[in-house]
Amino acid sequence: MTPETFGAQLRRYREKRKVTLDQVAQQTKVSASLLRSLEAGQCSRWPGGIYSRGYMRSYALAIGLDPERAVELFSHCYPQLVAEEFPEPEPAAQGSSQSPLERIRAALAEWLKSSTNGRH
């Protein structure tokens, strides 16, 4: 299944249920323009990770689809948006003076920096 066919199926199902995109946007708190891009098969502006899965789950619930199956299909069509892997940590330097908490903070900061750089 391609993103375009997935989006077209979602749109047809939503229209069959007589639900407008504005109604879905109001219920899900996801902008109508993002939902329109989903139905067009062009989610390049969507955020990644838990946000995209959450948006898809909310959309599916709003139009009466099984949210888990919808997220599964979404993940198949947009694997780059649903990646859940954490980046590999930098090897600790010998004799590092950082506490475990400081190392976790640094790793999280690096992960956040790398995930926001990929959203252009």
Average pLDDT over residues 11-27: 95
Instruction: Note whether 97 and 70 are same-domain residues.
Output: no
Between 7-11, 19-23, 29-33, 107-111, the lowest mean confidence (pLDDT) is in 107-111
CATH number of the domain within which 55 lies:
1.10.260.40
Model confidence band, residue 9 (pLDDT cutoffs 50, 70, 90): very high
Instruction: Note whether 12 and 69 are same-domain residues.
Output: yes
Instruction: Note whether 73 and 92 are same-domain residues.
Output: no
Residue 73 lies in domain: 3-77
Of 80 and 17, the structure prediction assigns the larger pLDDT to 17
* 44: nearest Cα among 98, 73, 100, 4: 4
- Model confidence over 57-115: pLDDT tens digits? 999 999 999 999 999 999 999 888 876 555 555 665 555 567 788 888 888 888 777 76
Q: H-type helices in 1-120, by residue range?
A: 3-16, 21-28, 32-40, 50-63, 67-77, 100-117
Instruction: Note whether 53 and 8 are same-domain residues.
Output: yes
Give the E-state strand segments of the chain in sequence order.
Answer: none
Rounded (5°) CA angle 76-80-82:
70
Model confidence band, residue 50 (pLDDT cutoffs 50, 70, 90): confident
Average pLDDT over residues 5-14: 95
d(CA 120, CA 118): 6
pLDDT of residue 120: 46
The whole-angstrom distance between residue 40's C-alpha and the CA centroid of its chain comes to 16
